[in-house]
Structure 1
Amino acid sequence: MSLKTLVIGASINPSRYSNKAVKKLLENKVEVKALGIKKGTILDVDIVTTKEAFENIHTVTLYLNAKNQEEYYNYIVSLKPKRVIFNPGTENIAFEKILANNAIKFEQACTLVLLSIGAY
């Protein structure tokens, strides 16, 4: 099973957790797509700035606060991911309800921790 992951809130800044997550996902042999507000590249992953119609996304991992997630609600639901991870600081009860209504699983967790303990 492919765990193809879309990182939303991706940054070229190596001190940002979204950047660390992209690198850790690649290290764990997970196919990664990245969406951010500025174009750039993390290792060999290009950060896109438009809501592309990626196919077969298993997991969306969020690095945007609740307010900044609003413009992505319909986009994320349209991708039909198997799950959405709300990383620390991204918790959003309103979006969780939307996901639940669309039969999309979600969890409040840390992508980096899940990868480090083999629970991704």
Structure 2
Amino acid sequence: MNKKTLVLGASLKEQRYSNIAIHRLMKYGHDVKAFGLREGEVVGVTIDTDLIDYKDIDTVTLYLNPNRQEDYYDYVIGLNPNRVIFNPGTENPEFYKLLSENNIEYEVACTLVLLGTNQY
């Protein structure tokens, strides 16, 4: 099942987990959008540097540390995704609370593991 996913904190660097996640999400047939600090492209996915009001985002997968997430709280909530995945190192109880208050599910998990174990 295709789950339109926004990778928030996308990187052009191949060794970064956000970059690997874009590759794997594409491999598994998901529609991928990406936001990062540097414009570019990863396996055909454009990394946007402007906050775009994407429609029908199922999942936002975070690759930003908690201190950097605060600037994106309203943006993520405004997208109204079905869920937000907090990858290792992105755990943020303050954001969990805001998401819950807005009826958005969240998972503290690893996108790569979820994909690899068919739980995405």
- Give the TM-score band, short-chain normalised: over 0.9
> Secondary structure of 2:99's partner?
helix
1:8–1:35 Cα contact (<8 Å) kept? yes
- Looking at structure 1, the residues matched to 110 and 52 of structure 2 have their Cα atoms a distance apart, in angstroms, of 24
Partner of 2:97: 97
- Looking at structure 2, the residues matched to 45 and 2 of structure 1 have their Cα atoms a distance apart, in angstroms, of 16
Partner of 1:13: 13
1:50 aligns with 2:50: yes
- Looking at structure 2, the residues matched to 93 and 51 of structure 1 have their Cα atoms a distance apart, in angstroms, of 23
Q: CA deviation at 1:2?
A: 4.0
Gaps of at least 5 residues in structure 1 are: none
Q: Which consecutive aligned stretches of 4+ in structure 1 deviate over 2 angstroms post-superposition?
A: none
* TM-score after normalising by structure 2: 0.99
1:53-106 superposed Cα distances (whole Å, 9 cap, x missing partner): 000000000000000000000000000000000000000000000000000000
Aligned residues: 120
Partner of 1:109: 109
- Looking at structure 2, the residues matched to 2 and 110 of structure 1 have their Cα atoms a distance apart, in angstroms, of 18
Partner of 2:74: 74
- Looking at structure 2, the residues matched to 105 and 111 of structure 1 have their Cα atoms a distance apart, in angstroms, of 15
Percentage of identical aligned residues: 51
- Looking at structure 2, the residues matched to 29 and 2 of structure 1 have their Cα atoms a distance apart, in angstroms, of 6
Gaps of at least 5 residues in structure 2 are: none
